[in-house]
Amino acid sequence: MDPQALLTCLSTASCVITQTTGGLISGMLLFLVAAGLSLIFGTLKVVNFMHGSLYMLGAYFAYTLYTATGNFTIAVVGAALGVGLFGLVFERLFMSRVYNTDVLMQLLVCYGFILILDDAVKIIWGAEFLSMGMPAAFQRPPIMIAGGILPVYYLFLIGVTLGVALLLGLLLTRTRAGKIVRAAAVNPTMTSALGINTALVFGGVFALGGLLAGLSGALAAPVRSMVAGMGFSILIESFIVTVIGGMGSIGGALVGALLIGLVRSFGTIGFPLFTEGVMFLFMTLVLITKPSGLFGKEH
């Protein structure tokens, strides 16, 4: 524990800016994964344990597209859409068959696909770790704000993620499609009785969740090395985020992810050996005081 270092940091603008933006960056990528996980749970009432693998696929798809085209935009958009499509196929062919079964069966299906996808990655891309490298457009000195440092790529990343969060919020609250998703989440039988194809809704939601995870993986590809199994750690953190924010709440996922990002960023200065512990402690406190999460609805 080094509270003095933390106080010193909090009293200097450069440290506050650097650490805050650092926390935002970690939080934003986490948000994209957690939002998809939360959306799928909120609507389909299944916990997608292979969501981390979709993040991994996004990173590898982006790597392949970027290597083939040299265009980062194509790589990110193509990877996100590709993983979304994979999510749709996976939901229709496999997950849809276990909706009404025991949660252990759902876990088994997901775990099976985690292993299959990890092995598929090893067969296709190899067991060795890969690095995509920073696209030329972002290879420039970081921006200095009041002595604080903000890399250009991270500024882009925060912008894209905030834009996605806004679009997602608008989609769910202001559009007919969003209303249908919310209705299917509350009462799928009644929604179906009103002539709405709920199977299509469920497939669409799973695809959207996959798209968000794929987007996160693609955006992370220039700065995080890729290896089979890389989705596991982000899956654990996404679960913490969704528990803190509330299962099914996109806003909760955003707040939870940013909280985790900031705790890690400032925690590494003030309590470097207990940063992970603080995350879990915070999750435990939320579970005790508000089991449905900060923004989750009571059942």
Partner 1 sequence: MTDTQRTRRNRRGFIKAAGALTASGLAFPYVARAQDKPIRIGVPTILSGRVAQLGISSRNALQIEVDKFNAAGGLNGRKLEIIARDSKGKPDEAANNTRQLINGDGCEIIISAESSAGAFAVQEVIRELKVLCIHTNSETSSLSADPKIRVPTAFRTARQGIHDAIVSAAYAGNVAKAKGLKTWMTCSPDYAYGRDNTSLFLEYMKRFHPEIEMVGEAWPKLFQADYTENITKILQAKPQALYSCLWAGDLVSFLDQSGIYNLFAQTTLFAINMADYTTLTAVKNLPAGIHSSSRYLKTFPAVPENAAWGDAYKAKFGDYPTNWSWENSLAMTFLTTALRKVNSTDGAKLADAIRGMKVKSPFGADGTVTMRAEDQTTIGYAIGWGTTISKEPYVPSVTPGDWKSILEHEAEWKKKMGFA
Where do contacts with partner 1 occur on this chain (CB under 8 A)? Answer: 9, 14-15, 18-19, 22-23, 25-26, 29, 118, 122, 127-134, 138-139, 141-142, 149, 151-154, 220, 222-230, 233-234, 264-265, 267-269, 272-273, 275-276
Nearer to partner 1, 140 or 174 (CB): 140
Nearest approach, Cβ of 145 to partner 1 (angstroms)? 13
Instruction: Evaluate whether 246 touches 252 at the Cβ level (below 8 Å).
Output: yes
Between 71 and 131, CB nearer to partner 1: 131
CA atoms 262, 268, 274, 277: torsion sign: positive
Q: Choose between 83 and 234: whose C-beta lies nearer to partner 1.
A: 234
Minimal distance in Å, beta carbon 57 to partner 1? 15
Q: Which is nearer to partner 1, 58 or 204 (CB)?
A: 58
Give least dist CB 225 to partner 1, A: 4
Instruction: Give yes or no for a contact between 213 and 164, defined as CB atoms under 8 angstroms apart.
Output: no
Q: Least distance (Å) from partner 1 to the CB of residue 276?
A: 7
- According to DSSP, residue 229 is labeled T
For the CA atoms of the chain, what is the radius of gyration?
20
For residue 284, the minimal CB distance to partner 1 (Å) is: 20
Cβ atoms of 88 and 80 within 8 Å: the answer is no
Say how many residues make up the chain.
299
Q: Shortest Cβ distance from residue 6 to partner 1 (Å)?
A: 11
Nearer to partner 1, 180 or 240 (CB): 240
- How far is it, in rounded angstroms, from Cα 68 to Cα 229? 24
- Min CB(131)–partner 1 separation in Å: 5
**Between 2 and 194, CB nearer to partner 1:** 2
Task: Kindly tell me the burial class for residue 149, based on how many C-beta atoms sit within 10 Å of its own C-beta (0-12, 13-18, 19 or more).
Answer: middle
> At closest approach, how far in Å is the CB of 274 from partner 1?
11
**113 or 206: whose CB is closer to partner 1?**
113
CA distance 155 to 136: 15
Rounded Cα gap, residues 293 and 248, in angstroms: 10
Query: If you write DSSP's letter for every residue of 83-152 in order, what string do you get?
Result: HHHHHHHHHHHTGGGGTTS-HHHHHHHHHHHHHHHHHHHHHHH-SS-B-----GGG-SPPEEETTEEE-H
- Nearest residue (CB) to partner 1, 16 versus 85: 16
- Contact between residue 51 and residue 235 where contact means Cβ atoms under 8 Å apart: yes
- Angle CA 294–297–299, to nearest 5: 130
